[in-house]
Amino acid sequence: MQSAAVATESEQENPLIEGLERLPVRPTALVIFGATGDLAHRKLLPALYNLAHEGSLPERFEMIGVARRGQEDEDFQDMVRESIVRFSRRRPDQKVLDGLLSEMRYVPGVFDDDQVYGELGRALREFDERAGQPLNRVFYLSTAPQFFPVIASKLGAAELSQCEKAETRIVIEKPFGYDLASARRLNDEVLDVFEESQVFRIDHYLGKETVQNLMALRFANALFEPVWNRNFIDHVQITAAEDIGIGGRAGYYEGAGALRDLVQNHMMQLLALLTMEPPSSFDADRVRDEKLKVLESIVPPSPGDVAAMAVRAQYGPGVVGGKKVGGYLEEDGVDPHSRTETYAALRLSVSNWRWAGVPVFLRTGKQLARKVTEIVVTLKPVPHLAFKNIGSVGVQPNQIILTVQPDEGVSVSLGAKIPGATMRIRPVNMEFRYGTSFLSESPEAYERLILDAMRGDATLFTRGDEIIALWGIIDPILQAWHADTSSPVPQYPAGSAGPAEADRLLGSDRRWRRL
Amino acid sequence: MSEDVWSEQDTNPDAIEAALRGMLRERHAANQGLAPARVLNLIVIVDRSWKGEVANRLERVGRYHASRTILCAVEDRRETLDAVAVMTYDERAGIGVIRESVEIDMGPEHLGALATIVDPIVIAEIPTIVWSPHGHDEAVEALRGLIDVMLVDSDDAPDPAAALARAQEELGSAYVVDLAWLRTTPWRERLAASFDTPRRRAMLASLDGFRVRHHANSAASALLMAGWMSSRLHWDIRPLQAATGSELCGRAYTESPRYIDIGLEPFEQEVPGLAGVTVAWRAGCTLSLDRADGGLCAREYSPDRGEQTWLVLGASRGEGGILGEGVRQAHLRDPTYGPALRAAREFCPNAD
């Protein structure tokens, strides 16, 4: 799908572009910092291969990997080949793979070493000379977050943050900040060197087709928008449940927790897309303006309110998929007295004309009963019921369920008559599944995002003010939880639907949708 | 993949449709995780002796299978309908998709009323695409009211001018997906990219040469490629003339008295489609794109920088991929095909 957001100056002026599904990407040199890391290995390098396979990379494309490991270009190329063969969504075409790898370069060194940037600069100039034109530059920061400001500052000092007659962009992986203060600081540090229009903050959820489909569902269908407000909607639930534990990520997770790991970014983005006003166009800034407006309508809780609107918990021992598993505190690398939450549930309110009085519930957790990411919009009950509910489960409020993963689709629950002589009603589902309705396979989120970053389309990236607004909502909860060092952290059995404490957020007349 | 199969000799459309419904009901009862694909119907009309080959081609379309494929195999002197319906699904997946295919052996006498045979079997409310690679115009005509999209391959016909004229005629009643046009897609994308930088884009106004190298049987693709370039850049077209061998050459003009030398040159290669393109602009600059291992070999020449070559990465889609792309395109609308087709026809020698 070609979004209207890409209707840039070049599209209007290049007469050869009209009708093409794949828009051109200007000649680009991509520099991946942290190129030997896990994200690069599993996601970025396979995504690059798939772009190459489909002919989506720019006609002049160069890549440099930067990481601490001392190795030669050839060793790096072997490593990249292995990553692609192992993790690409399609079996690599040997000739395309050879072509992609043949010119790949590697610059070893630590990220605060000036020499690294000197060598990078030389390589980039060499590419420009070889191409006979300055290539656009994309610096992809796939490193530990403490290196983000270091790399940005060093790029600035080495005069690599700007390039005459070509665009320079910086892509920054999550997490963007650790709390509100650190996010502000990081924003300032990055924006000291780069203009906002050069900065692409990744939230890979936004690259998922189903997340983008949220906008299509809302704004391309007259069916939904008329009921998308407080007059018809009772409440919204957004769930991101995982059926696995923290794996070998204790080092990261102990410092992050569920709220930072999923709520502050992915789930809040889903909330913003679900509740924002229709943008005047799908231009990057118009969409992000609307997201910002709705995020600013969510009043951050005061310290005294946190206990009433947020629940945290840790998984204890339990049974997952028929196998006994240990609790979070027994995981390797986890402090036995850790208070890090593996489950978080929130009740938020969007204080604007459209959403006033409609609670939005968010929950996420590890080691839950099922892996699912979904949004459930529950409508208010019909005002008058002419039927009796005898002999059936009766009329239930309609629900619109948007499943992000694993089976992407939309379903609408409706009341229907059970066949027979009496008027008995039960809910039935009307289902739309991507797999049954589209021929194409969804590309990996990273393929879309890398391409958009190279093209300079920021629609699916988080703007600086948006990041601050996101942290502004979550930070008071983090602070309150951090300050509370005495009350016990609730536990839930691994393999369950989460802690009973989360039920109180919903009140007496609502319940969490079954996982 | 698993299959459910039904077959009947001397059957009728109602029986076929009932069999499909029955199989679907049974399969869904056995596994509620399976849902029928509802994307598009594909009706294929073939000579029975080529049924196997066409079926193989359809197998190779990769993930772009139609939801329900109805293969009408025409056999001389046949008076009855024999049908086989197959439901294919993958039970290992959590939620799986069921695809249906029906092969109907029929006689030439059935073609004039083919709509009465096929209409009960197509899935209502989803687009229907028709592909008739062996002619059977009568059958296509009979299906006219059912068709949303016509799949053609202008490279298949011996006379490219006639094939393009036919595509133009079809365009009046249905959306046309022309495989000859789809063979030019990567080349169009790459030329658009090559002239996307502001520096290069300025050169579009001063092009003075455009050459297309093509498989001997893909002259229609070459004409469409030249037609696309001309229609996008608003060239004033004159019919091309036969030069040495099967090469066609001639000129197109711009508003100024400037002209562009056009050449369409057959090239020996195994696969159908284009082999290369060369664009020339003022002061002797050229850019060529040619098939190479792992993508296209780009070769740029300018008097001040000499020649430079590099590889533009991309895997070949193969003919299976082209057909699959044709099926996928049934849901899209390319606004540039019509103008390119008109321009391609104007390029044909002896065009009016």
State the helix-helix crossing angle for B337-347 and B219-233, rounded to 10 degrees: 110
- Classify A515 as helix, strand or coil: coil
Report if residue A507 sits inside a domain.
Answer: no
Nearest to B313 among A20, A96, A130 (CB): A96
Report if residue A511 sits inside a domain.
Answer: no
Considering only CA atoms, which of A351, A298, A328, A333 is closest in space to residue A475? A298
Chain B touched by A52 (CB under 8 Å)? yes
Same domain (yes/no): A444, A457 = yes
Q: Could you give the CA distance from residue A478 to residue B22 in angstroms, rounded to a whole number?
A: 57
Name the closest residue on chain A to residue B314, using Cα atoms.
A55
Same domain (yes/no): A165, A276 = no
Question: Which secondary structure element, helix H or strand E, spans residue A294, and what is its range?
Answer: helix A284-296
pLDDT tens for each residue of chain A, 515 residues long: 334 444 444 444 899 999 998 889 999 999 999 999 999 999 999 999 999 999 999 999 999 999 999 999 999 999 999 999 999 999 999 999 999 999 899 999 999 999 999 999 999 999 999 998 899 999 999 999 999 999 999 999 999 999 988 999 999 998 999 999 999 999 999 999 999 999 999 998 888 888 888 899 999 999 999 999 999 999 999 999 999 998 888 888 998 999 999 999 999 999 999 999 999 998 899 999 999 999 999 999 999 999 999 999 999 999 987 889 999 999 999 999 999 999 999 999 999 999 999 999 999 999 999 999 999 999 998 887 776 666 666 778 999 999 988 878 889 999 888 888 777 788 888 888 776 666 666 678 899 999 999 999 999 999 999 999 999 999 999 999 999 999 999 999 999 999 999 999 999 889 999 88
Nearest to A433 among B35, B65, B195 (CB): B35
Q: What is the pLDDT of residue A4?
A: 40
- Sorted by sequence, the CB contacts under 8 Å of residue A377 that are 6+ apart come out as A233, A236, A274, A399, A400, A401, A402
Mutate to test the interface with A, among B178, B197, B322 (most CBs of A within 10 A): B197
Q: How far is B201 from chain A (nearest CA, A)?
A: 7
Q: Is A439 in contact with B233 (Cβ distance < 8 A)? A: no
Which residue, A177, A202, A227, sits at the end of a domain? Answer: A202
Q: What is the pLDDT of residue A23?
A: 87
Q: Could you give the CA distance from residue B260 to residue B237 in angstroms, rounded to a whole number?
A: 10
Q: Could you give the CA distance from residue A477 to residue A102 in angstroms, rounded to a whole number?
A: 50
Name the closest residue on chain A to residue B230, using Cα atoms.
A16
Q: How far is B259 from chain A (nearest CA, A)?
A: 19
pLDDT digits (tens, 9 = 90+) for B89-145: 887 766 788 899 999 999 999 999 999 999 999 998 889 999 999 989 999 999 988
Listing DSSP states for A479-500 in one string gives HHHHH--SSPPPEEETTBS--G
Q: Could you give the CA distance from residue B99 to residue B89 in angstroms, rounded to a whole number?
A: 7
Name the closest residue on chain A to residue B337, using Cα atoms.
A19
Same domain (yes/no): A494, A379 = yes
The CATH number covering residue A93 comes to: 3.40.50.720
Residue range B185-347 in CATH 3.30.360:
yes
Burial of A321 (C-beta count, 10 Å sphere; 0-12/13-18/19+)? exposed
Same domain (yes/no): A179, A225 = no
pLDDT digits (tens, 9 = 90+) for B289-329: 999 999 999 999 999 889 999 999 999 888 888 888 888 88
| CB-CB neighbors (< 8 A) of B40 in chain A | 439
Q: Is A55 in contact with B336 (Cβ distance < 8 A)? A: no
| CB-CB neighbors (< 8 A) of B305 in chain A | 132
Same domain (yes/no): A259, A398 = yes
Look up residue B246 and give its amino acid: S
Nearest to A100 among B189, B229, B313 (CB): B313
Look up residue B18 and give its amino acid: A
Chain B touched by A439 (CB under 8 Å)? yes
Report if residue A508 sits inside a domain.
Answer: no
Query: How many domains is chain A partitioned into structurally?
Result: 2
Same domain (yes/no): A197, A287 = no
Q: Could you give the CA distance from residue A70 to residue A63 in angstroms, rounded to a whole number?
A: 18
Report if residue A510 sits inside a domain.
Answer: no
CA distances (Å), B274 to each of A311, B163, B214, B224, in order?
Answer: 63, 17, 4, 11
Q: Could you give the CA distance from residue A139 to residue A147 in angstroms, rounded to a whole number?
A: 13
Question: Which secondary structure element, helix H or strand E, spans residue B167, and what is its range?
Answer: helix B160-171
Q: Could you give the CA distance from residue A245 to residue A331 in angstroms, rounded to a whole number?
A: 9
The CATH number covering residue A385 comes to: 3.30.360.10
Q: Is B95 in contact with A96 (Cβ distance < 8 A)? A: no
Same domain (yes/no): A50, A146 = yes
Listing DSSP states for A230-266 in one string gives TTTEEEEEEEEE-SS--TT-HHHHHHHHHIIIIIIII
Q: How far is A404 from chain B (nearest CA, A)?
A: 14
pLDDT digits (tens, 9 = 90+) for B338-350: 999 999 999 998 7
Range of the domain at A224: 207-501
Which residue, A155, A175, A202, sits at the end of a domain? Answer: A202
The percentage of chain B sitting over the pLDDT mark of 90, rounded to a whole number, equals 69
Q: Is A19 in contact with B194 (Cβ distance < 8 A)? A: no
Q: Is A10 in contact with B199 (Cβ distance < 8 A)? A: no
Q: Is A54 in contact with B315 (Cβ distance < 8 A)? A: yes
Report if residue A73 sits inside a domain.
Answer: yes
Distance of alpha carbon A430 from its chain centroid, rounded? 27
Which residue, A182, A202, A222, sits at the end of a domain? Answer: A202
Mean pLDDT for the stretch of residues B264-271: 94
Q: What is the pLDDT of residue A7?
A: 40
CA distances (Å), A398 to each of A380, A388, B4, in order?
Answer: 8, 17, 36
Q: What is the pLDDT of residue A389?
A: 63
| CB-CB neighbors (< 8 A) of A17 in chain B | 192, 196
Exposure string (b/e) for A160-180, b if CB count within 10 Å is 16 or more?
bbebeebbbbbbbbbbbbbbb
Chain B touched by A14 (CB under 8 Å)? yes
Same domain (yes/no): A144, A246 = no
Mean pLDDT for the stretch of residues B39-62: 87
Q: How far is A407 from chain B (nearest CA, A)?
A: 7
Exposure string (b/e) for A478-497, b if CB count within 10 Å is 16 or more?
bebbeeeeeeebbbbbbbbb
| CB-CB neighbors (< 8 A) of A60 in chain B | 310
Q: What is the pLDDT of residue B218?
A: 96
* A179 neighbors A143 (Cβ within 8 angstroms): no
Nearest to B294 among A10, A98, A431 (CB): A98
Q: Could you give the CA distance from residue A80 to residue A93 in angstroms, rounded to a whole number?
A: 14
- How is residue A95 written in tokens? 């000739």
Q: Is A55 in contact with B188 (Cβ distance < 8 A)? A: no
Q: Is A55 in contact with B199 (Cβ distance < 8 A)? A: no
Chain B touched by A163 (CB under 8 Å)? no
Considering only CA atoms, which of A224, A203, A382, A362 is closest in space to residue A291? A203
Q: What is the pLDDT of residue A5?
A: 40
The residue that leads in pLDDT, B8 or B246, is B8
What is the rounded average pLDDT for all residues in chain B? Answer: 91
- Tokens 């947020």 sit at which residue? A310
| CB-CB neighbors (< 8 A) of B185 in chain A | 20
Nearest to B311 among A99, A132, A436 (CB): A99
Q: What angle do CA A442, A446, A447 make, to 5 degrees?
A: 65
Exposure string (b/e) for B115-126, b if CB count within 10 Å is 16 or more?
bebbebbbbeeb
Q: What is the pLDDT of residue A392?
A: 64
Nearest to A22 among B189, B293, B328 (CB): B189
Chain B touched by A222 (CB under 8 Å)? no
Chain B touched by A279 (CB under 8 Å)? no
Considering only CA atoms, which of A314, A343, A318, A344 is closest in space to residue A329? A314
Considering only CA atoms, which of A271, A298, A230, A277 is closest in space to residue A375? A271
Listing DSSP states for A77-125 in one string gives HHHHHHHHHHH-SSPPPHHHHHHHHHT-EEEES-TT-HHHHHHHHHHHH
The residue that leads in pLDDT, B199 or B344, is B344
Q: Could you give the CA distance from residue A436 to residue B40 in angstroms, rounded to a whole number?
A: 10
Mutate to test the interface with B, among A48, A436, A437 (most CBs of B within 10 A): A436
Q: Is A99 in contact with B295 (Cβ distance < 8 A)? A: yes
Q: Is B314 in contact with A133 (Cβ distance < 8 A)? A: no
Q: Is B65 in contact with A439 (Cβ distance < 8 A)? A: yes
Q: What is the pLDDT of residue A56?
A: 94
Q: What is the pLDDT of residue A66?
A: 97
Q: Is B312 in contact with A59 (Cβ distance < 8 A)? A: yes
- How is residue A203 written in tokens? 């939230």
Same domain (yes/no): A238, A344 = yes
The pTM of this model reads 0.89
Q: Could you give the CA distance from residue B246 to residue B268 in angstroms, rounded to a whole number?
A: 12
Q: So which residues of A are the catalytic ones? A: 266
- Tokens 């890391």 sit at which residue? A37
* A206 neighbors A470 (Cβ within 8 angstroms): no
Q: What angle do CA A324, A329, A332 make, to 5 degrees?
A: 85
| CB-CB neighbors (< 8 A) of A96 in chain B | 294-295, 313-315
Name the closest residue on chain A to residue B37, using Cα atoms.
A436
DSSP symbol at A145: G
Report if residue A229 sits inside a domain.
Answer: yes
Report if residue A178 sits inside a domain.
Answer: yes
| CB-CB neighbors (< 8 A) of A164 in chain B | none
Chain B touched by A407 (CB under 8 Å)? yes
Q: Is B310 in contact with A60 (Cβ distance < 8 A)? A: yes
Q: Is A441 in contact with B63 (Cβ distance < 8 A)? A: yes
Report if residue A514 sits inside a domain.
Answer: no
